[in-house]
Structure formats: structure tokens, C-alpha cells
Amino acid sequence: MQWFEPYPLYISIIAFFIFFLSIVLLKKPSNLVRLFLSICLMLSSLFMISTALELYIDDFNAMQWLRNIQQIALFLCPVFLFGFAKEIAEPNAVKNIKYMIYLGAPAVIGIFLIFTNPIHHWMRSSVTTDTIWGLTEITITPTPLGITFIAYLLFLTLLAVFTFIRNMHDLPSHLRNSHLLSSIAILTPLVSLCVLPLLSVKIPGQVALSFSLMSVLLIFIFKRYDFNSIWPVSRHQILESLDEGIMLFGPNYNLLEINQAGYKLLKRWMSYLDEEIIIGQKVDQLFTDKRILKGVYQHLSTSFEWKVELAGEYIYLQVNIVPIGYYGRDIMLVVLTDITEKKLIENRLYTLAHYDSLTNICNRHSFIEKYNAMAERKKFPISFLILDIDHFKQFNDQYGHIVGDQVLKEFAVALTEFFKPAKNCSIVGRIGGEEFGVLLHKDAAQAGEQANLFQQNLTEHSISINGEKQEKITVSIGLTTTNEPISFEQMYKEADKALYQAKRAGRDRVEMINA
């Protein structure tokens, strides 16, 4: 034959082009999907190059060796195509590699039998040559055992297609085209082998031609549709650009993937973690929170706030756990979002809305809310004390408002320490100015006893004025009690009447109305 033949040259050019792209796919960021696709492309290019050489040369023994080399690609390519489809559908490196080892074992045996066939003749009953378009190629008649191995390879090819089609169920509609077209691409060699003989069309290197079409289609499909997983603009880059910590846990609850944000979050409370060995850690080695473990182990879709203590301080995390993968059974997505700053702002706003800025006890609005809550829960009896600091205006007039504020703060501390919520089921608040309120879940007699005890306790408390002079403060108290739901305004009106009576009676005393 002449040294230049367009058809083998075309196959050779396409083979080198596909081989080049297979090398490109090995660039970082790397993952199993890219690796398996790259190996499939390399095997396809090997098959095509050896086919082109077979068509170029005339030596029968050399042609037979080239045909044997083609069988390496022919037997192994379906194995890696299955691994490629499986890893896209259900990412799990350990599990999928095990599948490939089991399914690839017969393919390796078949390759061994092909290369040793001249010894035992188990795979080929005859080997002849055929000339098409002036090009000579090997023609092989397989034995029943050889046909069995061919059937097995077809089974693996169809299994890869089935894996793609099954996974379409879990995909949004705009991504399903990638799986459908991938299935068509993988079926191209099989379809060409079945259809062309029916059309009585003979093409030299027919399988190599169909492999070139399959490879080009796969490259186009995954550049066009699935670049997040396959092409250099990968999901790795997308994950690393997120501020949220992203973690993927496999069927055995081991960590499959984590982005830098997630690693940094875990590192904050587990400083011993090494970035190189964190992959593969079990979920219970990374988390102790029962809600996270329950969500992952039971494959629950859940969301909650998680408070973590670090060196005496707290950080707040929003935790979202979502099952993903085929029917949500295999992969668990855990997303951690640091909401500490947001939480601090919320707490600050809550404090400003519910607590008096000077005394740090409940303000009037919050005090009324808490009364209404007690009434709604029917926590009767409810006793309401109004406390008014006696002659408070004199502190302001004699010492100034700074000292007046100091008196209010120290009085609030004394009030809070005496009416401790855990001990007295009480609520303490500043109603306004020098007027304070206390809610007690006690009857009138008990509440009156507590009020008198507080006044006695106050006589032992002195306030330092400008670091030198000591002043005593006294308080007048009005008390009312209810055993049924009434409005706060009504409670306040009754208690205020009692307070007025205490002031008229000489101050520094307790008076009761409707108690």
C-alpha cells in the first residue's frame, strides 16, 4: 500500500487529539470522575492508533499483535465507562473502585487469554485478513468462550448506560440532557456494530471509527453540560469560593469531601485536625452534637442552630443537613454557616428592646410582656409589687444625675439579688424613672412577707457617694394580688393606689390593695 492513506491518517489525528484532551483532564482539580473519563479517552486513543497502524502495515504477525493491543482497550474501556457513570451517579470512591475491581476481573482474564491464545486457542477459532477500500485488516472468528467475553463487555456497556439513565431521576430537568447524551455516546460503538452490517456497509477499522465518535461526544457533552464535575471550571473551585462549610459524608458515614471554609470551622474546636488526613474521618470523630449525628445516621433533612463554646466564648453555627444522591440514601450533605456576628447583633437588638440600658433589668415593655405570659399560662396567684425609691429627687438635686444613676443601678442590683428568679419565681423590671416592679408567683401573704424582708435587707445596704459619703436608701412598696386574668393596666392601677397609700403613711412601708 502507499505511504499516505487519508482514512488511517484521519483516525490517527483524531486519536492524538483525544489523547491530548485526556491529559488535559488530569489537570487539577482532580477527582475520580475526571480520572475515569481520562482513562477511557486514553484507551480509545490506544485502540485508534493501533487500528491505524494495523491498516498501514502488511505484515500479518505485526497486524495480529496490534489487534491484540486493541483488545486491551476493548476489554478495559467498558469497565472504566461504568466507573465513570457510577461515580457521577453516586460519588463514593471506595465503593465504586471495589465495584470496578470485581467487574474488571473477567476483563483482565479475557486480555490474558487473548495474548496467550496461540498456545490454547480458546478465544479465536480462526484469524484471517480482509481488504476494504484497499486497506487490509485482521478478521477474527471467535470461539464460544470468546463470544461469552464479548457478551460480558456488552453487558458492562449497557450497565454504564443504565446507571446514567437511572440517575436522571435525581437530576433537575436542565441537567438530564447530559446523562441522556452520555448514554447515546456510550452506545455509539454498539449501535454501529449492530446497524452497519444490516445495511451491508463495510468500513475498515469500523470499531475505531465508532470509538472516535464516542470519545468526541463524551468530551463535548461534559464540557457543555457538566463542567462542574468534569471540566477545569470544577465544583472544587465553586465549593472553595463559598463562605459556608461544605461537607459530604458517604454511605459509611465517612467524610468524602470538605471545602476550606468547613476545614477552618472544624479546626477552631479541633486544632489537632490535619488537612491531609481529615478525608475519611467518621462523622462521630468530627462532631459530638447529637442532632448532627442523628441527622446523618438517620438520613434526615434538618436545620438548626448550634452553639459551640470555645475558650470561654461562644460561636453560633447554622447547621443544614440534606440527604442527596440516588433517592437520598447514600450521600449526606452537611452545611455549616457561621452566624455568630448575626447572632450577636440579634442579641444586642433583643437586649436593647427588652432591657433597661441603665440598670440591665427588664424595661417596661418587657415587664408587661412577661406579666401577660404568666397570665396566659394561668400561673396564679400573681402578686405585683411597685417599688418607689423614697426622696430620690433629693439625690439628683444634691449630688447630680450621675450619682442618681448610680443609686438606680445599685438599687436594681439589690432588688435582683434579693428576688432571685430561681428562688422566688420572680420577674424584676424598671417601670420608669425611680419606679421598679416585681412579679411574684405567690399569694398576698407570701408576697407581703417578701416585700417587708426586702425593706429590712435594704436598711443594711449603704450607697457610697463619690467614694466618701455613705447614704441609706429606703423604698415604698405598693402590692396587689390577682387569682384570675386581668389586664396589666388594671394590676398597675391597683398597685399604684397601694403605693400612694404607703407614701401618704410616711414612706418606707408596704401597703396592699385587693390582696
State which amino acid sits at residue 228.
N
**Distance (Å, rounded) from C-alpha 342 to C-alpha 326?**
35
Q: Which residues contact 473 (CB under 8 A, 6 or more apart)?
A: 389, 390, 407, 411, 458, 461, 463
What is the DSSP-derived secondary structure letter of residue 328? G
**Distance (Å, rounded) from C-alpha 463 to C-alpha 229?**
71
Q: Is 202 exposed, middle or buried (0-12, 13-18, 19+ CB in 10 A)?
A: exposed
468 given a catalytic annotation: no
CB-CB contact of 43 with 73 (8 Å): yes
What is the DSSP-derived secondary structure letter of residue 330? S
Q: Is 54 exposed, middle or buried (0-12, 13-18, 19+ CB in 10 A)?
A: buried
Question: Nearest Cα to 82, choosing from 154, 13, 160, 144?
Answer: 160
Helix axis angle, 60-89 relative to 173-198, nearest 10°?
150
Which is catalytic among the residues 434, 435, 460, 471? 434
Per DSSP, which regions of 85-151 are E strands?
124-132, 135-142
Burial of 343-355, coded b for 16+ CB within 10 Å and e otherwise, reads beeeeeeeeeeeb
**Distance (Å, rounded) from C-alpha 334 to C-alpha 302?**
10
Q: Which residues contact 367 (CB under 8 A, 6 or more apart)?
A: 427, 429, 430, 431, 437, 439
Q: What are phi and psi of 470, to 5 degrees?
A: -105, 130
**Distance (Å, rounded) from C-alpha 255 to C-alpha 119?**
49
Peptide bond into 197 cis (omega under 30): no
Q: Which residues contact 280 (CB under 8 A, 6 or more apart)?
A: 254, 255
Question: Annotated active-site positions, please?
Answer: 434
